[in-house]
Chain A
Amino acid sequence: DAMVIQNPRYQVTQFGKPVTLSCSQTLNHNVMYWYQQKSSQAPKLLFHYYDKDFNNEADTPDNFQSRRPNTSFCFLDIRSPGLGDAAMYLCATSRGGIRSGTSLGNEQFFGPGTRLTVL
């Protein structure tokens, strides 16, 4: 019954060593999102894809990149992780709001998250 799957659940990397987090979905949703959540803070949107249309948030550092090779998968690449990038990374999906033609299309379904540690 898993709908939004994130692998791995825990990731340890070294300072400056590139790391990739993955997300997959079985919901066939149009939109996939990546959020960063630091301890005791709210999730912060990094970027999202509507189908293949990439939407970057203005304050997302260039160090963060994303790929969506198909509807089901989305990847978060951190090119040179710093100590400040240690956080929980959450993937979410939605049908896509009004563009999807559904009234509750903007309800988001979240995965369990990947906790990233940077040594």
Chain B
Amino acid sequence: LAKTTQPISMDSYEGQEVNITCSHNNIATNDYITWYQQFPSQGPRFIIQGYKTKVTNEVASLFIPADRKSSTLSLPRVSLSDTAVYYCLVGDFRDEKLTFGTGTRLTIIP
């Protein structure tokens, strides 16, 4: 399984765009990149998934460079309710298992 490295914590002010970068140097050909969000005392929630280039949904964007050795989750105009832990996961699309890394604790400041 590809190992992921992401910042332990980040702070940002309300209304700003937040970019969280994840490093996954040994990503394999069949691996997808997936991000989950977890609020305190709740289960993680799927945010976005991608393989290469850019993926956008109503919540976030995911940027993946051509070498796929890193990825960046972009949250536009964050609010206090975006305070959570964000996990970057890399896994084989053929495998039903997930391995969570350490995650990034994002704190939004008023």
Query: Using a CB–CB distance below 8 Å, which chain A residues touch chain B?
Result: 4, 31, 33, 42-45, 48, 50, 55, 88, 90-92, 94, 96-99, 103-113, 115
Contact = CB atoms under 8 A, between A and B. Distances in A.
Given A45-B99, A96-B96, A107-B46, 4 more contacts: A42-B87, A94-B96, A97-B96, A110-B42
B45 A110 contact: yes
A55 to B, nearest CB: 8
Interface of B: 32, 34, 41-46, 49, 87, 91, 93-103
B95 A97 contact: yes
A43 B100 contact: yes
Listed residue (A92, A105, A106) with the most chain B CB atoms within 10 angstroms of its CB? A106
B100 A42 contact: yes
Contacts of B93: 97-98, 103, 106
A42 B102 contact: yes
A42 B88 CA distance: 11
Given A43-B100, A45-B98, A106-B96, A112 B43 contact: yes
B46 A108 contact: yes
Contacts of A105: 96
